Structure 1
């Protein structure tokens, strides 16, 4: 048998078998109305296995982070040169990063 070098200890989140919770779960989902702390659901009521709805992620970013791109404050939606961003992408990617998750 050969001696292999030891690797770093496994993080507690992996050891427990549970992935870290998405920060957007701290607010109510405006799309499916999932409660704070609960995962988003589909139209048929099934719990989604992926990230929260994009509307929930955008609402979380607007509520918790100042946008470094357009310099708007907490609770104010992003804009491009004074024009409101489209509903399909209401938040700048840099604001998502400030809110605690990688850019979409």
Structure 2
């Protein structure tokens, strides 16, 4: 006995899918997911939630000017003393706000 084939997804449902997260435009430095693909868990399962935090940070650094420390795209955020610091929340908002 063979299983019946699945029907293709109707266009009306396909059109209502949310847009992929903008961080998918960069390779994930944490799990190694390629550009355009979703992040994976340690066991190799594709995650159904947001991308890895490291991927979001890499995307923000690569694409947005930081409103807090005024660093250019491609340059890590800087603290008051000029040392490298974690990505500022406003930079995430700047990088991901264009696609939202």
Please state which band the TM-score falls in when normalised by the shorter chain: 0.7 to 0.9
CA gap 1:80/1:42 in 2 versus in 1, 3 angstroms: same
Could you say which residue in structure 2 is the equivalent of 1:83? 83
Superposed CA offset, 1:51-98 (max 9, x none)? 00000000000000000100111111101111221xxxx210111111
Give the deviation of 1:16 after TM superposition: 2.7
Runs ≥4 in structure 1, deviation > 6 angstroms?
Answer: none
What stretches of structure 1 of length at least 5 have no aligned partner?
Answer: 1-12
TM-score, length basis structure 2: 0.78
What stretches of structure 2 of length at least 5 have no aligned partner?
Answer: 1-11
CA gap 1:84/1:38 in 2 versus in 1, 3 angstroms: same
Could you say which residue in structure 2 is the equivalent of 1:65? 64
Q: For 2:89, which of 87, 90, 93 is the aligned residue?
A: 93
Paired residue total: 87
Give the deviation of 1:26 after TM superposition: 0.5
How far, CA to CA, are the matches of 1:68 and 1:33 in structure 2? 28
Report the RMSD for the aligned CA atoms in angstroms. Answer: 2.2
Give the deviation of 1:35 after TM superposition: 0.4
Does structure 1 residue 45 correspond to structure 2 residue 44? yes
Structure with the higher fraction of residues in helix conformation: 2
TM-score, length basis structure 1: 0.76
SS at match of 1:63: helix
